[in-house]
Amino acid sequence: MGQRAAFFDLDKTLIPGSSLFLLARGMYARDYYRVRDIARFGWRQLRYRMSGESDESIDSTRDSTLDFVVGRPVQELQEMGREIVEERILPRVYEGITKVIDHHRAVGDLTYLCTASPIELAEVVAEGLEMSGALGTRAEVADGRYTGRLSSDGILHGEAKAAAVVALADRLDIDLSESYAYSDSINDLPLLETVGHPIAVNPEIDLKRAAREMGWPVYELRTRRPLLLFGIPSAFAAAVLFGVGFTAGRWFGRRPV
């Protein structure tokens, strides 16, 4: 048996809404975006919340972001991204999810963030949550500056995300049949089907339906958000900390020695 791991989506799984929009807001606050730019991101964020993650919304947001970073130094964006993640993204992470990440780490599992968002953003979020690492979309770089194009790998989305996880598992001797994946989106179905323990978190309607058909656990954190702010544990935290509900021993127990 190889190493066990847990893979987490970012948008709507770890945080409400879009990490790219939060990044754009932070850029605007630092005078990197104009009013019309942030308004365009605001409209996309509304569509994202209403209709869920789609190829069209991902492509549209990606293209506008790549247009913006053309010619920008990578180091400049990395430094700014770190500040924005600390200010705007990490404080929004669902407390229940952080407890799940903490538990996986405590029992010796690797923990990876897997997102279509930029790898620079993903790595800072993963670092802030003390995760093992991150997989994300890579932009093409030449002479230390962004070219405005994606790398040859394209967007880390759908089948591409699942393929990246399989490749990582091959490198690190991760046993995917014993591993976990957490996501809200039907677009992550390839990833969820790759691991032995798929879990739907804040699922949109298509994933909720698929999860019920396949007998996967379904957890809803959005309605518990106000309670989490006061330290009341979610269903995740309750299962992890007190061993009740959803066969906690099966889903979160240590491996046999």
Catalytic residues: 9, 11
Between CA 138 and CA 238 the distance in angstroms is 36
Q: Are 178 and 254 in contact (CB under 8 A)?
A: no
The sign of the CA dihedral 20, 25, 29, 32 is: positive
Residue partners of 143: CB distance under 8 A and separation at least 6: none
The sign of the CA dihedral 18, 21, 102, 134 is: positive
Comparing CA positions, the residue from 167, 161, 137, 163 lying closest to residue 150 is 137
Is 78 buried (19+), middle (13-18) or exposed (0-12) by CB count in 10 A?
Answer: middle
Distance between alpha carbon 208 and the CA centroid of its chain, in Å? 18
